[in-house]
Structure 1
């Protein structure tokens, strides 16, 4: 149920996309959204100070593969408010397509826990100052939107330091990923038609430009559903439509090559 709700929320945002261009020179990318949620814990508040998020595009332990996500919604998040299926979005960004082995969550110093109305500072071990590394090991395909959920276990992450009323934060986090839509790919000939191709579902449209060399096109980040693909070439060719194309979660739907008819 959690992932169904997460996916529906993200798809509502993706439906606002009205133009996506493709270029022969642009590298393959993927759209990811990172969300934060928590398992229930017997505390009044567990506040964590989110500062930075990185993904490792290399292998585990390969420090050269870390990629910093920009536009993170920095702030202090009460994990107790994010339990029982509630989540919040930390960042949405388009990054290079491929494998993600790990996620690294960097916390600030304003972490605290509230017990019986008293707030205690949470100390973070020095070894985690550079960030908490969470294994993921998922492959992300070009043109498919994904949601990465960081499931914080507050009950196991807050550790009392002896009997002195001091507490440490030793984050226990599980990362999972789920596709939140699909994509359509195909080819239009001849390339001299300089076509514009678009996918339509209801009143929502995503547009792309085929490669000027091969005629290949990609219509990415599409919510699941049935689409009509429309092709608008220059005046020397007739327009074309391909109805009833099904897009499913996490899949690339390939359609047959379209050969445009010259105008008379």
Structure 2
């Protein structure tokens, strides 16, 4: 994988991604103890996932969730400027493959309004020693009772660093989802081991309350040059206001630059718009989305202007 992806949508090939989209953006008030509502907002952080053809379970044990203000991406783990959304006394164990079209709330925090660029998931370490079961593991559909430990480099110290921009607005409750796509987040090492990487987790911030949603998915593709990043909007029929928006980054795979994307949106009819520098704008046909189901667009081929 060449780059990580952050978006209010998630990819078909992987993720928790960090991750898209269904906690509601609720109107309300926040702030207490004399703190001005103009300077703080409330953030809810949730988790959802895409399904996998290969894995039966993907289990992670989360110790802590932190968010990173824009500009502090290289801050140390113990930097007091990184708000801690939640710290679990006992690690929070989640099988992410049980969360398709569902969300699990990880935590809620009142924090300074503004722009944020990263979420860090601090995981419990797998125990050392023979006969001790792993706490971060997967099982294969071909062997559903065999727990294969997930290797999580740095996830116990600096955390899985999930990239993606989101905004905490003053005086209201904002929400993001970490959309986990196991097909991208989990990488086979070739020796029977598997790595868990943040490239398969995306951050999604819905623009409207989503109590029941489906998904609109596709893969942005270029066969002749790298498109680096692309802006994506999902717009309802007869409207100019997007209900989902964000950025997708490319990865080189089999001589193609690809970026899987999935927007979780309420049932309705939508177009997906893609804009990448150096390429012609793309607009999908009008596509119906049904709650609880995926509506695939297939390959979204980028072309020259």
* TM-score, length of structure 1 as denominator length: 0.56
Q: How does 1:54-65 map to 2 (within 5 A)?
A: 54-63=66-75, 65=81
Runs of at least 4 residues of structure 1 off by over 6 A?
Answer: 24-27
Confirm whether residue 36 of structure 1 aligns to residue 52 of structure 2: no
Alignment partner of 2:137 out of 109, 112, 129: 112
**Residue correspondences, number:** 172
For residue 130 of structure 1, give the secondary structure of its aligned residue in structure 2. Answer: coil
* Cα distance in structure 1, aligned partners of 2:70 and 2:118: 9
The SS at the match of 1:69 is: strand
Q: Is the Cα–Cα contact under 8 Å of residues 49 and 108 in structure 1 kept in the other structure?
A: yes
- Distance in 1 (CA, whole Å) between partners of 2:124 and 2:173 is 29
1:94 matched to 2:110? The reply is yes
Deviation at 1:160, TM superposition (A): 2.1
Cα distance in 1 for residues equivalent to 2:68 and 2:62: 18
Higher helix share: 1
Once the two structures are superposed, the pairs formed by residues 1-264 of structure 1 within 5 Å of their partners are 3=21, 6-7=23-24, 23=34, 28-42=39-53, 43-63=55-75, 65-71=81-87, 74-83=91-100, 85-109=101-125, 110-115=135-140, 116-117=143-144, 118-126=146-154, 129-163=157-191, 165-171=192-198, 172-179=200-207
After TM superposition, give the deviation of residue 161 of structure 1 in Å: 2.3
Using the TM superposition, give the Cα deviation of residue 78 of structure 1 relative to its aligned residue in structure 2, in angstroms: 0.5
- Cα deviation, 1:130-184, whole Å, max 9, x if unaligned, reads 1122223233221121111100111122222224x32222232100223568xxx
Shift of the alpha carbon at 1:86?
1.3
Stretch moving more, 39-48 or 152-161? 152-161
Mapped contact 1:31–1:146 kept (Cα < 8 A):
yes
Q: 1:119 to 1:70 in 2, by over 3 A?
A: closer
Q: Which runs of 5+ in 2 are unaligned?
A: 1-19, 126-134, 210-305
Larger Rg: 1
Name the SS of the counterpart of 1:33 in structure 2: strand
- Structure 2-normalised TM-score? 0.49
Alpha-carbon RMSD: 3.2
Structure 1 unaligned blocks of 5 or more? 182-264
Structure possessing the higher relative contact order (Cα contacts under 8 Å, 6 or more residues apart): 2
Give the whole-Å Cα distance in 1 for the aligned partners of 2:31 and 2:155. Answer: 42
